[in-house]
Structure 1
Amino acid sequence: MAATWVPDVSPDSPFSLANIPFGIISSPANPAPHVAIAIGSQVLDLKVLSSYPDFDDLFPALKNYPGIFSNSTLNEFAALGRPVHREVRSTIQNLLSAETSRPEILKDNLGLRQDAVLPQQKVKMHLPMSIGDYTDFYAGFHHAYYVGALFRGPQAALQPNYTHLPVGYHGRASSIVVSGTPIKRPFGQIITDPTAEPKHPTTAPSRRLDIELELGCFISIPNEMGSPIKVTNAEDHIFGYVLLNDWSARDIQTWEYVPLGPFNGKNFATTISPWIVLADALEPFRTKQIDNWTPLQGYLNEGKEENIFGIELQVDLETPQGDSTRICTTSSKYLMWSFPQMIAHHTLGGCPLRTGDLLGSGTISGPSQGERGSFLELSEGGRKDIMLQGMDVRRFLKDGDRITIQGVCGEPGQKVGFGECTGQILQATPQL
């Protein structure tokens, strides 16, 4: 991959020329949300670029979609499908390359460059998609095993269905927020004395507020109701990927989840990173998923081994005092189920997925203590202190804590990453 002419693109930037992630920005000059891509510490404003007189010749696949980069979401662009995404991304890479074949458009056009290439700190990020539905899976093998062992013991850690199908539940799309949005501690019914019988809940702010380190996948091409998506075709229905933190109130969840599963313990907030890394950008980083010793049903058999990505993931906690600690370093290679398998299972009964639907991988953890992607695991169910900088400790999140998730793959100068997925915990609002 050639270098870029865009100034100040650090070799460690997750937004190299090899990436070109898409997002929705607003700027002082263009306050209405619209489409841009990230390059280094800059953004390329695609709404401004579309004012170039030869824009239709540059992007022939978009000729019948005037104003597509003026939209407030990426849904219309996503729905055009992967071949169009690939063509547009390739053209942008050429325009930003130091060896561009069209230097007159941006590289040598100082006027357009001044308007279209903006510092990231000068723009505001917005949710990249209009999200109609959200489904969260449980595909992280080590997380599923360790949490199961905490509550049921090692011999019964995994439920009998776990290796047969991608377990999932439907979440709440209305509370998905973009990185940087503060998260208010939720109220719910909780049990303060787990030894008491019978159980007597109280309504109070969650005392066991947690994170879940996940990867998210956005749907591009929908399927018709009653028409399942074949696992071998599922890649054609994927737009791209984000980092995802499915904030979890463990004490609320523990009391409410029987028999129908998570509800208020999960639906108060989910944070995603603002830049969508297109599916093609992650192709060079395919790797083998966790071995599944159970023979698969035919509809889940992809026919290939390298069906997930080896993204290096990390979680940092910053206390209200400003001390920061890296509490987790792991990898997305620890998934047992791939997103194509999740899509195939999701639609098996004929469920229609729509453009902009979001799928979460479930918590991603590795086999060692420092690779656990939730406080539930790190604190061994709330029984062990997690040591932090500044002589502080945590078992779960305190008010004022800020969580930052990052993910990246690739060599210096060619890194493909997501930027930050961050949120700070605010005090619960007193009930009336």
Structure 2
Amino acid sequence: MSTSANTRSWVESANGHADFPLQNLPFGVFSRSGLTPRGGVAIGDWIFDLQAALEAGFFNGAARTAAEAASRDQLNDFFALGAEARQTLRRELLHLLDENSPQSARLQTKAEVLLHPMGECQMHMPAHVGDYTDFYVGIHHAMNVGKLFRPDNPLLPNYKYVPIAYHGRASTLCVSGTPVKRPNGQTLPPGQEVPQFGPCKRLDYELEMGVWIGPGNASGDAIDIVDASQHIAGLCLLNDWSARDIQAWEYQPLGPFLSKSFATTVSPWVVTAEALAPFRSAQPPRPAGDPQPLTYLLDPADQHNGALDVELEVLLLTRQMKAQGVPAERLALSNTLNMYWTLAQMVTHHSVNGCKLQPGDLFGTGTLSGPQTGQFGSLLEMTEGGKHAIQLPSGEVRRFLEDGDEVILKARCKREGQVTIGFGECRGVIEG
């Protein structure tokens, strides 16, 4: 469900806004001085207060039921309602915020309570996350990292058959802007046989998308690939911070543990499946010789229209760059079309063993690197494991993150004939 590219809003800053025009309307949870955390909708430079709109009587019927769920201090209840409720509320919001809305005059008289300046609000986690799973569907990242450890055989045999993932730690998910404390752990210095304990020296970011689960499934019931998209409420940006030296020592034989569980940052706005619909794309064809997905993961409609075309960006701003007034430096520009598996395949595979998914569960896609220099979604890839330094405009160099460094993730959907929409920012500063 989308609205015309020519449709404008009476909220002036929304018109031509890089991230939050009328055609987007993402949901989030915010607070402001004097206001408890509550659900809102991003529109231009403002947040539309769903609680205030409900109290003013702007919603009726099914739209009111959906708005009540979306107005709370978490979006779990709203996610649980599913696609029909989201679509109903979106239609009503498009109607209310359109510059030609019959209610625009009344809305504008109440703008002081309905609209809050985004810059004066604090954003919170959009939902209470019961479970967080991090996938590994970025094939170029998998290849680049695999080459560092297995130059002759970078991908393990299961990669092209199984959407690889591991279970992460929901308790350390945090919203954009939350400082990230450098973790401690065991590492094995080169040439040594005994590990040492101390702060991570090879701290990294990972450029990912986050996938918010809507309606779940009963324990023991698998989600069919044909229905999987109905279980996705929306997407956000996600930075899966990684302690590479801790990871190198601990990951065999069970995979990541303390190297990943100290912090994972998400952007605060949930861009809905409906807003993303105009930017759907065919899943890129697999290279010649790659196996077809097994039957339970293969749906022609999903292959035809199940991928997303979203431009992804990583920027770095060091403490010295801030002091010098130097703008953030772009480190990478990639795209979600670098996913080897679709979102629907991720959902289906996660549930195929009967695993119970619940509203507000969060998936990470894994690092979404491109195949070329300038498209790598982690410092591990950019520096080839620390072998090469990155030169910054401030005269500094980086192999991995240092204290005071701020990583900024951005994402935009662009397509001819469509209004550009974005995800806002996913930021985190490293603290010692």
TM more than 0.5: yes
2:332 aligned residue: 328
How many Å separate the matches in 1 of 2:214 and 2:363? 12
The alpha-carbon deviation at position 113 of structure 1 amounts to: 1.1
How many Å separate the matches in 1 of 2:162 and 2:235? 22
How many Å separate the matches in 2 of 1:186 and 1:317? 20
2:73 aligned residue: 72
The 5 A counterparts of 1:2-401 are 2-9=7-14, 11-30=16-35, 32-56=36-60, 60-63=61-64, 67-106=68-107, 109-110=108-109, 112-153=110-151, 155-192=152-189, 194-196=190-192, 199-292=193-286, 293-304=290-301, 305-321=304-320, 322=322, 323=326, 324-401=328-405
Letter in 2 for 1:210: D
Q: Which runs of 5+ in 1 are unaligned?
A: 428-432
1:430 aligned residue: none
The number of equivalent residue pairs is: 416
Q: Is the 8 A contact 1:50 1:69 kept in 2?
A: no
The alpha-carbon deviation at position 344 of structure 1 amounts to: 0.6
CA pair 145-382 structure 1, distance change in 2 beyond 3 A: same
Q: Is the 8 A contact 1:247 1:266 kept in 2?
A: yes
- Partner SS for 1:4: coil
How many Å separate the matches in 1 of 2:46 and 2:89? 19
How many Å separate the matches in 2 of 1:119 and 1:160? 51
The alpha-carbon deviation at position 62 of structure 1 amounts to: 4.6
How many Å separate the matches in 1 of 2:139 and 2:284? 7
1:419 and 2:424 aligned: yes
Which region of structure 1 is more displaced relative to structure 2, 211-220 or 320-329? 320-329
Letter in 2 for 1:244: L
How many Å separate the matches in 2 of 1:121 and 1:342? 35
Q: Is the 8 A contact 2:69 2:78 kept in 1?
A: yes
CA pair 423-12 structure 1, distance change in 2 beyond 3 A: same
How many Å separate the matches in 1 of 2:159 and 2:74? 35
How many Å separate the matches in 2 of 1:52 and 1:140? 46
How many Å separate the matches in 1 of 2:120 and 2:30? 10
How many Å separate the matches in 2 of 1:328 and 1:301? 31
Q: Is the 8 A contact 2:40 2:71 kept in 1?
A: no
Q: Is the 8 A contact 1:17 1:414 kept in 2?
A: no
- Partner SS for 1:366: coil
User: Sequence identity, in percent?
Assistant: 42
Q: What whole-Å deviation, never above 9, does each CA across 1:236-269 have from its counterpart, x for those lacking one?
A: 1111100000000000011001111100000000
Letter in 2 for 1:141: I
TM-score (norm 1): 0.93
- For residue 407 of structure 1, the aligned residue among 396, 407, 411 is 411
Which region of structure 1 is more displaced relative to structure 2, 82-91 or 412-421? 412-421
Q: What whole-Å deviation, never above 9, does each CA across 1:118-173 have from its counterpart, x for those lacking one?
A: 210111100000000000000001000111111101x3011100110100000000
How many Å separate the matches in 1 of 2:64 and 2:308? 33
- Partner SS for 1:239: strand
Q: Is the 8 A contact 1:141 1:290 kept in 2?
A: no
The alpha-carbon deviation at position 54 of structure 1 amounts to: 4.8
- Partner SS for 1:130: coil
Q: Is the 8 A contact 1:95 1:105 kept in 2?
A: no
The alpha-carbon deviation at position 78 of structure 1 amounts to: 0.9
Q: Which runs of 5+ in 2 are unaligned?
A: none
- Partner SS for 1:369: coil
